[in-house]
Every structure is written in C-alpha cells, then in structure tokens.
A and B are shown apart, each in its own frame.
Chain A
C-alpha cells in the first residue's frame, strides 16, 4: 500500500470516528433531556458492553456460528467471579490473560 493511500485511510477513519464522538455532545450537552431518554441512555452502557462481550465468548468463525465449549467462555467464568469480587480492572485483565494463556497450554 502506498504511503499517501495510508494517510488518506487514517484521516478518513479518524474523521468518521470523531463525528460519532462529537455530534451527540454538541447537540445534547446543555439541554435538559426528557426523563425517558435519560433512563434509556443510562441503560445503554450495560447493553453495549454485554452486546460486545457475549458474542466474543460463544461465537466463532467466518461465517459466524455458535460454539459453546471454547476456552474463551471457560476462562470467562473465573474472570467474571474475580471481577465481581475485586472490582479491579487491571487485576481482571491480568488474570484473564494469564488464565487464557494457561488454557491454551492445557487444551
């Protein structure tokens, strides 16, 4: 890939990404939102994180299909319990990586 093509690619990616971050702030900040919208926005983080996470644990391949017995899901159980108990982001990341690495050695 040519250098100039790469620069165009990165500027394009940066531009569209910035728009998704900036538009709601410029439109919504400083306004009083209706209570149902605040409640909806309050549920969005839990929804997004769960929607990001679950498919990573129980689906695989191209085209994507469901496969339950994978190290990803197995390791997620102790990692989940550890996170629930400690609420430590860094600790959870390190433990998850360690367990996944061990699972790769054993399985």
Chain B
C-alpha cells in the first residue's frame, strides 16, 4: 500500500520540468490511450457475449434495440440490467425495480471507496466522469493497474469508457440479433461466471486475500439460501473483509 501515495508523481515531475511542448503532449495523450486500451480490451471483449446475451433477453422481453441502448448508456451495470429485464417481464412495479437496482449496486460504494485511495492527486473535475464508468470489471482492472504499475486517471478513464462503448454497442447488437439467436446458444449464460472466476484470481495475491475470499464465498452461499433477495452479496463482503482485518495478525502467523 506504499505505492498508492505515489500515483501520478512521475507525470507531475515530468510536467514541472517541461512545461510547454505541444508535440510531446500529443504523443503523451496517445500513450495514455494506448496504455488504457491495452488494459481495457479483455474487458471489452468479455462484455461482447454478456452484452449480446443481455440484448437478446431484453429483445425477448419486448424492448426495442434503442430502448436497450438507452438503458445501457444511463445505467451501465450488467447484473442490475439483467435483473431489471427479468422483473420487467414478470410485471414488477417501476419503484421496486429501481429499489432492487440500488440494492444490487450498493457494492459500487465499496469499489468506489477502494479506488478513491488512488485518486487523491486526480483533478476533482474528472471524478464525476470517472465515477460513471465504475463496474465490477473496470474496477478490478484499474485497481490492479493502480496498485502494480504507473497508472493514472487518464488511463483509467480510457478503460472505463472503452468498456462502456463495448457494452452499449453489444447490447444494442444483441437487441437487433435477438430474434435469430436461441436463448442458451454458445454458452452465453456462462460468460459472467467465467469473468468473475478470472477477476477473482487477479485478486488472490496472498494468504489474507484467499482467506477473505473463502469466508466471503462460504457466507454468501449460506446467506443466499437464508436471506431473500440479493443483499447476501454486500453482507458477505462486509463480513469477510472485516474478519480479514480483525484476523490479520493471526493470518500472518499461520
């Protein structure tokens, strides 16, 4: 965690010494975009099957591709959108769909908090734009980049917005092609699960993370069959991370 206070320091030193050089600056922006895209492409690719699957389901629930794109643009949260579609088809009220969306997305509070540690030097004006693109996947990519490389808010923004474009485009494409694709084709149902598997592995960088993940997984399973709804995700995560901090001295000795 020593690293987190150094984020962006290299660029700021560089800017202090060479204040105005437009050609350099242009190539600098190009570097940020290339670096951002190099980190973003697996997320973008991962969103294609998910987005197509979502578009197909939404089309089957009676939405027009443009309505699908409108939701992907304003909400940009995969699991909440999937849940909203299933609630729409079962005739749920607007207020209960919005409330469920809030509950499912409460986990963003935790992700956004975790990212804020690395954004102490970022310009406050870009933070609202950055907030818009925080998803499970972009969060996991940006967090590990902030932690292990010379990452900055510009590159993180490229990751967020490239994933956003990929999500919107593939959900709309799914909406147009929905009528031609059977519901369970090509293992589309498994795209989300395999993405979570890989993102979890990115996070298991030591004993305390593994123990926390085991506690979270086990308690999520138990809570999911005992507590109705989706609150088990946030309950199990808070429980596991708290135990992880409380037990950290013991974990180091094991």
Whether A97 pairs with B49 at a CB distance below 8 angstroms is yes
Whether A100 pairs with B190 at a CB distance below 8 angstroms is yes
A106 vs B197: C-alpha distance when bound (angstroms) = 23
The size class of the interface chain A forms with chain B is 35 or more
Whether A52 pairs with B233 at a CB distance below 8 angstroms is yes
User: Considering only CB atoms and an 8 Å cut-off, how many residues of chain B contact the other chain?
Assistant: 103
Q: A39 to chain B: which residues have CB within 8 Å?
A: 1, 244-245, 248
Q: A45 to chain B: which residues have CB within 8 Å?
A: 111, 114, 139-140, 143, 203
Within 8 A of A (CB), among B81-116: 84, 88, 94-95, 97-98, 101-102, 105-116
A56 vs B49: C-alpha distance when bound (angstroms) = 18
Whether A28 pairs with B113 at a CB distance below 8 angstroms is yes
A97 vs B134: C-alpha distance when bound (angstroms) = 25
A41 vs B238: C-alpha distance when bound (angstroms) = 10
| Contact A17/B75 with A47-B216, A49-B140, A93-B45 known, Cβ cut-off 8 Å | yes
Whether A89 pairs with B97 at a CB distance below 8 angstroms is no
Select one of A7, A9, A25, A88 contacting B119, CB under 8 A.
A25
Q: B254 to chain A: which residues have CB within 8 Å?
A: none
Whether A44 pairs with B194 at a CB distance below 8 angstroms is no
Closest to B1 in A: A38
A49 vs B205: C-alpha distance when bound (angstroms) = 14
Whether B119 pairs with A29 at a CB distance below 8 angstroms is yes
Q: B116 to chain A: which residues have CB within 8 Å?
A: 24-25, 27-29
Closest to A57 in B: B193
Whether B225 pairs with A64 at a CB distance below 8 angstroms is yes
Q: B57 to chain A: which residues have CB within 8 Å?
A: none
Select one of B101, B200, B201 contacting A17, CB under 8 A.
B101
A76 vs B195: C-alpha distance when bound (angstroms) = 11
| Contact A65/B49 with A28-B116, A100-B189 known, Cβ cut-off 8 Å | no
Q: B240 to chain A: which residues have CB within 8 Å?
A: 43, 47, 50-51
| Contact A43/B102 with A25-B115, A65-B225, A89-B198 known, Cβ cut-off 8 Å | no
Flag whether B33 is at the interface (Cβ < 8 A): no
Closest-CB distance, A4 to chain B (whole angstroms):
11
Whether A53 pairs with B217 at a CB distance below 8 angstroms is yes
Listed residue (A53, A75, A101) with the most chain B CB atoms within 10 angstroms of its CB: A53
A51 vs B75: C-alpha distance when bound (angstroms) = 22
Q: A23 to chain B: which residues have CB within 8 Å?
A: 109, 112
Closest to A20 in B: B108
| Contact A53/B196 with A39-B248, A90-B42 known, Cβ cut-off 8 Å | yes
Flag whether B19 is at the interface (Cβ < 8 A): no
Whether B200 pairs with A93 at a CB distance below 8 angstroms is no
Whether A21 pairs with B233 at a CB distance below 8 angstroms is no
Flag whether B220 is at the interface (Cβ < 8 A): yes
B 8-36 to A, binary, CB cutoff 8 A, 1 in contact else 0: 00000000000000000000000000000
Whether B190 pairs with A64 at a CB distance below 8 angstroms is no
Within 8 A of B (CB), among A2-22: 5-14, 16-22
Whether A96 pairs with B213 at a CB distance below 8 angstroms is no
Sorted nearest first, the 4 A-B pairs with minimum C-beta distance are: A96-B194, A14-B74, A101-B187, A89-B42
